[in-house]
Amino acid sequence: MARSLIEVRRRAARRSPLAGSPLERWLVNGALVVLASAALGPLLWMVSVSFMPAGQTSTFPPPLLPERPTFDNYAQLFELAGMARHIFNSALLAVIATLLSLAFNVTAGYGFAKLRFRGRDTMFQLLLGALVIPGQVTMIPLFLMMKYMGLINTYAGVLVPLLASVLGIALVRQYALSIPDELLEAARIDGAGELRTFVSIVLPGLVPILVTVAVFTFLGSWNDFLWPLIMLSHDDLHTLPLALASLSREHVQDRELMMAGSVLTLLPPLAVFLVLQRYYMQGLLAGSVKG
**Distances in whole angstroms, Cα of residue 192 to Cα of each of 142, 196, 197:** 40, 6, 6
229 in a structural domain? yes
Residues 44 and 106 grouped into a single domain: no
Query: Confidence class of residue 5 from pLDDT cuts 50, 70 and 90?
Result: very low
CA distance 58 to 268: 29
58 in a structural domain? no
Residues 82 and 191 grouped into a single domain: yes
Return the pLDDT at 285: 59
278 in a structural domain? yes
Residues 103 and 42 grouped into a single domain: no
Residues 19 and 85 grouped into a single domain: no
Residues 42 and 157 grouped into a single domain: no
Contact 165, 217 (CB under 8 A): yes
CA distance 81 to 51: 18
Return the pLDDT at 94: 92
Show Cβ contacts of residue 71 under 8 Å, excluding neighbours closer than 6 positions.
51
Residues 118 and 33 grouped into a single domain: no
Return the pLDDT at 201: 83
Residues 198 and 261 grouped into a single domain: yes
Contact 238, 228 (CB under 8 A): yes
- For the question of whether the overall pTM of this predicted structure is more than 0.75, the answer is yes
pLDDT at 2 over 50: no
Query: Confidence class of residue 291 from pLDDT cuts 50, 70 and 90?
Result: very low
Residues 144 and 34 grouped into a single domain: no
56 in a structural domain? no
Burial 32-65 (b: 16+ CB within 10 A, else e): eeeeeeeeeeeeebbebbbbbebebbeeeeeeee
Most confident of 97-101, 131-135, 285-289: 97-101
243 in a structural domain? yes
Average of pLDDT values for 4-17?
Answer: 52
Total domain count for the chain? 2
pLDDT at 8 over 60: no
Polymer length of the chain: 291
pLDDT digits (tens, 9 = 90+) for 52-109: 887 777 777 777 778 788 888 888 888 776 788 888 999 999 999 999 999 999 999 9
Return the pLDDT at 289: 45
Residues 246 and 163 grouped into a single domain: yes
Could you list the residue range(s) of the whole structural domain that residue 159 is in? 73-289
Query: Confidence class of residue 279 from pLDDT cuts 50, 70 and 90?
Result: low
pLDDT digits (tens, 9 = 90+) for 108-124: 998 898 888 888 888 88
Residues 19 and 82 grouped into a single domain: no
12 in a structural domain? yes
Query: Confidence class of residue 251 from pLDDT cuts 50, 70 and 90?
Result: low
55 in a structural domain? no
- Number of alpha carbons in the 13 Å side-chain half-sphere of residue 193: 2
What is the Cα 72 distance to its own chain's centre? 30
Beta strands in the chain (DSSP E): none
Residues 173 and 275 grouped into a single domain: yes
Bond before 204 cis per omega within 30 degrees: no
Return the pLDDT at 95: 93
pLDDT at 218 over 70: yes
pLDDT digits (tens, 9 = 90+) for 139-192: 888 889 998 988 899 999 999 888 888 888 988 888 888 888 888 888 888 777
Query: Confidence class of residue 284 from pLDDT cuts 50, 70 and 90?
Result: low
CA distance 131 to 128: 6
Residues 134 and 18 grouped into a single domain: no
What's the whole-number average pLDDT of the chain?
Answer: 80
pLDDT digits (tens, 9 = 90+) for 20-51: 577 777 888 888 888 877 888 788 888 888 88
Q: Is the torsion defined by CA of 181, 183, 189, 194 positive or negative?
A: negative
Q: State the CATH number of the domain containing residue 245.
A: 1.10.3720.10
67 in a structural domain? no
